[in-house]
């Protein structure tokens, strides 16, 4: 069964053709990053306009790369939240029009669930439950217990900035481009050693995160308001180390407290190699991490999550609406 996965929640126009929720026949991502980089972050109105222009060419390319005709598509899965309202609307309306014209089922997918299901793309095994998921992206830092397909319990979340947002903000403080995550990772790799240890937030709820104090600390160092004056690379490395340590410590703790049999790491920040290797090194259970290109936003993950919903009969009608504030668990 071939599913089309459509993703437009932020600044990538992405469409994939995926067979049986696992095999990627094509996965086309048209990134708007250059457009937004000049403003230092995503400009919602520009994102919507770019999505409108990119939808048809991206669909054509996704079908061509999959050697498929549009009539070969068996169902249309689309992100309906969370994300930017205008951006989500473009993808959702496009998906509805396609599903209606082709008389195929429409499936609304939670973007965060898409990040999770990216973990089983191109793998033969099935998830082991309960699984502990760490979803870290530009908009979310969630610790979620996945008790079965579609069954989630949110154990922790960020109380302020998301991990990716912290990378993006600190990158700006260090005069680096947007998106900040890859730029910080590159700069940090140039440091001989991290500067002195930066703080880790202590929070009431054991699996919650906070990154705004860390960001303020970096800001004070950059402005010369602290005693230390490390190199930019050493500061980037110390920042990355602090974020990675917080994420890994809490995910590992949550996994052992909940008896999880594996940890799934996903979302754009999961492309970070320091995070990937620290989690693999410290986790007491197997860690499943998609390859970096499937960690950042893409259509294949939406088709993968959509397939699960489809086979359990959860299709949507044309009244399906966007849910910009949708959560998981």
| Residue 194 contact, options ligand KG4, Zn ion, none, Cβ 5-8 Å cut-off depending on partner type | none
**Tokens coding 225:** 């308001």
7 binds ligand KG4 (CB under 6 A): no
**Judged by CB, which is closer to ligand KG4: 97, or 293?**
293
- With CB under 5 to 8 Å by kind, the binding choice for 182 among Zn ion, ligand KG4, none is ligand KG4
Among Zn ion, ligand KG4, none, residue 88 binds (CB under 5-8 Å by kind): none
Taking residues 234 to 263 in sequence order and writing x for each that binds ligand KG4 by CB under 6 A, - otherwise, the string is: ------------------------------
Residues 108-137, mask of contacts with ligand KG4 (x by CB under 6 A): -----------------------------x
Min dist. Cβ of residue 116 to ligand KG4 (A): 12
Per rule CB under 6 A, count of chain residues that contact ligand KG4: 20
Give the binding site for Zn ion (CB under 5 A).
Answer: 137, 297
Would you give the binding string for ligand KG4 spanning residues 171-210, x where CB under 6 A is met? --------xxxx--x-------------------------
Query: By the criterion CB under 6 A, which residues form the site for ligand KG4?
Result: 10, 137-139, 164-165, 167-168, 179-182, 185, 267-269, 271-272, 296-297
């Amino acid at each position: 069964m071939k599913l089309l996965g459509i993703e437009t929640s932020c600044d990538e126009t992405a469409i994939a053709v995926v067979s049986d929720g696992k095999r990627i026949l094509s996965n086309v991502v048209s990134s708007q990053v250059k457009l937004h980089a000049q403003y230092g972050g995503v400009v919602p109105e520009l994102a919507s306009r770019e999505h409108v222009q990119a939808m048809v060419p991206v669909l054509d390319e996704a079908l061509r790369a999959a050697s498929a005709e549009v009539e070969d598509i068996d169902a249309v899965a689309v992100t309906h939240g969370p994300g930017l309202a205008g951006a989500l609307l473009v993808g959702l309306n496009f998906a509805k029009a396609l599903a209606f014209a082709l008389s195929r089922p429409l499936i609304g997918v939670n973007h965060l669930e898409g990040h999770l299901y990216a973990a089983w793309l191109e793998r033969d095994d099935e998830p082991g439950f309960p699984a502990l998921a760490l979803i870290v992206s530009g908009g979310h830092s969630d610790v979620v217990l996945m008790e079965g397909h579609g069954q989630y319990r949110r154990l922790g979340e960020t109380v302020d900035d998301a991990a990716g947002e912290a990378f993006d903000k600190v990158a700006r403080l260090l005069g680096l481009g947007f998106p900040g995550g890859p730029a910080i990772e590159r700069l940090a790799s140039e440091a001989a050693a991290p500067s002195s240890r930066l703080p880790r937030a202590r929070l009431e709820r054991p699996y919650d995160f906070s990154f705004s104090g860390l960001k303020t600390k970096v800001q004070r160092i950059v402005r010369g308001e602290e005693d230390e004056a490390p190199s930019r690379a050493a500061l980037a490395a110390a920042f990355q180390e602090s974020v990675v340590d917080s994420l890994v410590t809490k995910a590992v703790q949550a996994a052992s407290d909940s008896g999880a049999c594996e940890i799934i790491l996903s979302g754009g920040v999961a492309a970070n190699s320091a995070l990937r290797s620290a989690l693999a090194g410290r986790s007491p259970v197997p860690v499943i991490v998609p390859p970096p290109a499937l960690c950042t936003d893409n259509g294949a993950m939406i088709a993968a999550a959509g397939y699960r919903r489809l086979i359990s009969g959860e299709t949507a009608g044309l009244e399906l609406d966007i849910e910009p504030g949708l959560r998981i668990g």
